[in-house]
Amino acid sequence: MIGIVIVSHSSKIADGVVELCSQMAHKNLKIIPAGGTKDGAIGTDSIKISEAIIKADEGDGVLILVDLGSAILNTEMALDFLHDTIKKRAIIADAPIVEGSIAATVQASISNSIEEVKLAAEEVNGFKKIN
């Protein structure tokens, strides 16, 4: 199965997004939060993120949803720390964290293709909430 990692400056956001996604997820889908820094402050932490990626990885790939700024820098740094085999199949989605995570969860519950799950997350970029 594809794994999903939620990276946010706030551990509450990361945990909350995981909670929200779990309602729509296949029971075996791993959705791992990596929120805040290791001392519990607001921020992102490359070591925490790389641990979350390892935890989420089952061999098919890991899609990573991020919030702003250093979430991306630290996720890229986390990928640099990882072994090439995991690094190759872990990708950051260019998508809003809440909607993108939900779309990725739904797709990952029925598909083992990291490209398809990434596409599903990124498709929400075009969605309109109010018509």
Ligand X SMILES: Nc1ncnc2c1ncn2[C@@H]1O[C@H](COP(=O)(O)OP(=O)(O)OP(=O)(O)O)[C@@H](O)[C@H]1O
What are the DSSP calls for 58-110, one per residue?
A: SSS-EEEEE-STHHHHHHHHHHHHS-HHHHHHEEE--S-HHHHHHHHHHHHTT
| Residue (70 or 109) nearer to other proteins, CB | 70
The one among 12, 19, 41, 88 contacting other proteins by CB under 8 A: 41
What gap in Å lies between CA 114 and CA 121, rounded to an integer? 11
| Residue (11 or 105) nearer to ligand X, CB | 11
* Closest distance to ligand X from the beta carbon of 114 (Å): 26
Active site residue 26: no
CA-to-CA separations, 64 to 108, 129, 131, in angstroms, rounded: 12, 23, 29
Q: Does 10 help bind ligand X (rule: CB under 6 A)?
A: no
> Considering 3, 4, 7, 9, which one is annotated as catalytic?
9
Q: Which residue has the tokens 């939620």?
A: 6
Binding site for other proteins (CB under 8 A): 9, 36-38, 41-47, 68-70, 73-74, 76-77
**What is the contact surface with ligand X in residues (CB under 6 A)?**
9, 43-44, 68-70
Catalytic residues: 9
